Chain A
Amino acid sequence: MTLFDSELAAGADPVLAPGEEPVPAAGTDPVPSRRGGAWRRLRADRSALAALVLVGLLVLVALAAPLLTALEGQDATTFHSQLLDSARGGVPHGAFGGIGADHWLGVEPGTGRDVFARIVYGARVSLGVALAATALELVVGIAIGLAAGLGGPRVDAVAGRVIEIAIAFPSLLLALALLAIVPQSVPRPVLVALAITAVNWGNVARVTRAQAMSLRTRDYVDAARLAGVGPVRIALREILPGLTTPLMVLAALKVPSNIVSEAGLSFLGAGVRPPTPSWGQMLSTSTTWFQTDPAYVIVPGGLLLVTLLAFSLFADGVRRALDPRSTRV
């Protein structure tokens, strides 16, 4: 899903060509030198810092999933049929979805699996898939974007069109269709990451292409070319470094967007499969239980919300720090 890409498509464009003098927008302070002050600005940004701490915490939780579940004394896949009220459709015994000392966040209706364990292992899937997809999107997008931006008008005519189509397409719909037709035997998290990449690399390519086109006419690039440096080397040595700033912002925005994509696909039943836990999958199940076991909606839903907010706030902070020209929107 391209919720976040809209910021790039319209309105506040974080892309700033190196060497250009940033023009202060109405109402913002005069801008100090950009790159050097980025980290300082980020540190001074309280909401971004808080978000960063949260993000770090979530990553830590995902990494330490086995440790945390060991601490709780549960695991993510064991069924606890005795904890469920079978006559009432399999809702957990006890209030708030069976929350207690043994099961910190209660148990899953229908299966009795430990919700806490599934949440922390689900974090691995959600974050893992999102980060892997982001990295892959960057690789694919940069490659195609550089080819379009530097490969001459013919290459650009084709690549440019493909990029436009890739961006315009309803990505989740295509990912859903792709996941339906691929063989069922390939490991699911890998497939999901690949599907998300396949439909979301477009805006990375677009930003790269635009940036490369503007950089390619710079003097230092001309100088390199005249000195006989090969085109690939120019792309990697001279152009790519100039892309760091806009791509870092884009990458930061892409992580939460990809978390949403993974959750959406799992919600639609096309993501990872049980018994592998995922937040989207838990929310999908909870649509049938929202009346009888609201705790099962609130726990994974709340967590997903907090995660997305943290990543979005952080991405916002990154953008403000790297590109202070942009206004707070």
Chain B
Amino acid sequence: MIWFLVRRLLATVAVLLVMSAIVYGLFYLMPGDPAVLACGKRCGPDQLVVTRHKLGLDQAVYLQYWHFLQGVVVGRDYSSGPDVNHCAAPCLGYSFQSDQPVTNLLLDRLPVSASLTLGALVLALVLGVGAGLLSALRRGTFVERLLTGVTLLGFSTPVFLIGLILLLVFCAWLKVLPFPSYVPLTENPAEWARNLVLPWCALALIEAALFARVARAGTLETLAEDHIRTFRAYGVPERQVVRRHALRGALAPVATITAVELATIIVSAMLTESMFGLPGIGKLAVEASTSVDLPVITGVTLLAGTAVVLANAVADLLHAAIDPRVKLA
């Protein structure tokens, strides 16, 4: 078990290294001069030289990447003239647009993204597992067909379209919910929730469709197992069968799918944030793309990639721990 853990950990680190090299390479070795972008709108030739040196862009590529890695792990110093700015680990550099440390920008935006994603996940779990369970237990009925249709709809619809429809109905026509504007949870919990209802619903409907599918499949698989048939044959009440066994069958794959599909969830959250103007990490990424803010783009991409890689590693471990059939090889 220990060896398995160590090996899995090493593999994860290797993947992260490869990923960071690819991402860094992609964004910093593109045609065009990052120094020009960093220097901004009014930039003379002198300032350009200073900027290039300050960012270390006058060094060899492998050195630049090495310094970047150093920054992430132990922090790094940026010197401009007499002043030395220390950028503490994990340092992802400074935004070209706002001159703020990218790490700070990400941390600032994290509560918004976390509020959105976690809230939506909870909602999606309830909706998705409920729908999956129901449609598995009511096979061949109208309910099943309806749920299948709704699931397909949720699956086919991009989140921004769902968001627009929700806005149209609840904000423009019924006027029961405000156009979302993020209020920190610590400031006013009621307003926090009221403003996030629409984004939560939009994102949750997408995720719920995903959960419903695997929950349904998981339930069906469980119900088909021999011991369930035996229970039923022995007259164990249906309610107990559902509560004890079907629910477990529905929930187990949902945990895995959340990790496996984290990439999809991140992308949907990014679209949701842009759609509702929520100042989260996804919106930061979109803004950074528009202004070609390379350090921010790199930072967000790496963060998202790392989250996905780690989630997959954890899912593997969990899977191995739960399911003895998985060889710890």
- For window 131-183 of A, CB contacts with B under 8 Å fall at 161-162, 164-165, 167-174, 176-183
Chain A residues positioned under 8 Å from B290 (CB to CB):
180, 269-270
- CA of A284 to CA of B276, assembled, Å: 11
**Residue count of chain A within 8 Å CB distance of chain B:** 62
* A174 contact from B275, B294, B301, B312, Cβ within 8 A: B301
- CA of A287 to CA of B180, assembled, Å: 13
Known: A11-B253, A264-B271, A267-B274. A164 touches B308 (CB 8 A): no
Per-position binary interface string of chain B over residues 250-288, scored 1 when its CB falls under 8 Å from any chain A CB and 0 otherwise: 000100110011011011101100110000001001101
The smallest beta-carbon distance between A274 and chain B, in angstroms, is 15
Known: A161-B15, A309-B153. A294 touches B168 (CB 8 A): yes
The reply on A50 being an interface residue by CB < 8 A is no
The smallest beta-carbon distance between A9 and chain B, in angstroms, is 5
Q: Is the CB of A11 within 8 A of B155?
A: no
- For window 228-268 of B, CB contacts with A under 8 Å fall at 253, 256-257, 260-261, 263-264, 266-268
Chain B residues positioned under 8 Å from A287 (CB to CB):
160, 164, 167, 275
Q: Is the CB of A170 within 8 A of B168?
A: no
Q: Is the CB of A291 within 8 A of B15?
A: no
Q: Closest residue to B159 on the A side, CB-wise?
A: A264
Known: A161-B15, A291-B172, A328-B148. A176 touches B216 (CB 8 A): no
The smallest beta-carbon distance between A289 and chain B, in angstroms, is 10
The smallest beta-carbon distance between A13 and chain B, in angstroms, is 11
- CA of A194 to CA of B263, assembled, Å: 20
Known: A6-B264, A27-B139, A290-B172. A164 touches B152 (CB 8 A): no
- CA of A169 to CA of B304, assembled, Å: 8
The reply on B19 being an interface residue by CB < 8 A is yes
Per-position binary interface string of chain B over residues 3-15, scored 1 when its CB falls under 8 Å from any chain A CB and 0 otherwise: 0000000000011
* B156 contact from A170, A172, A297, A312, Cβ within 8 A: A312
Chain B residues positioned under 8 Å from A309 (CB to CB):
152-153, 156
Q: Closest residue to B22 on the A side, CB-wise?
A: A165
Chain A residues positioned under 8 Å from B14 (CB to CB):
161
Chain A residues positioned under 8 Å from B292 (CB to CB):
180-181
* B263 contact from A12, A170, A182, A283, Cβ within 8 A: A170
Known: A290-B164, A309-B152. A176 touches B289 (CB 8 A): yes
Chain A residues positioned under 8 Å from B268 (CB to CB):
1
A2-B263, A181-B32, A313-B152 known; 18 other A-B pairs, CB under 8 Å? Answer: A5-B264, A6-B210, A10-B260, A11-B213, A168-B309, A170-B267, A173-B301, A177-B27, A177-B297, A180-B288, A181-B297, A263-B160, A270-B289, A287-B160, A287-B275, A298-B168, A309-B152, A329-B213
Closest 6 CB pairs of A and B: A180-B289, A308-B156, A26-B224, A172-B267, A170-B266, A170-B263
A sample of 18 inter-chain contacts (CB < 8 A) reads A1-B268, A6-B210, A10-B256, A165-B18, A168-B263, A170-B266, A171-B267, A172-B270, A174-B301, A177-B297, A180-B288, A181-B297, A263-B158, A263-B160, A269-B286, A294-B172, A297-B168, A308-B156
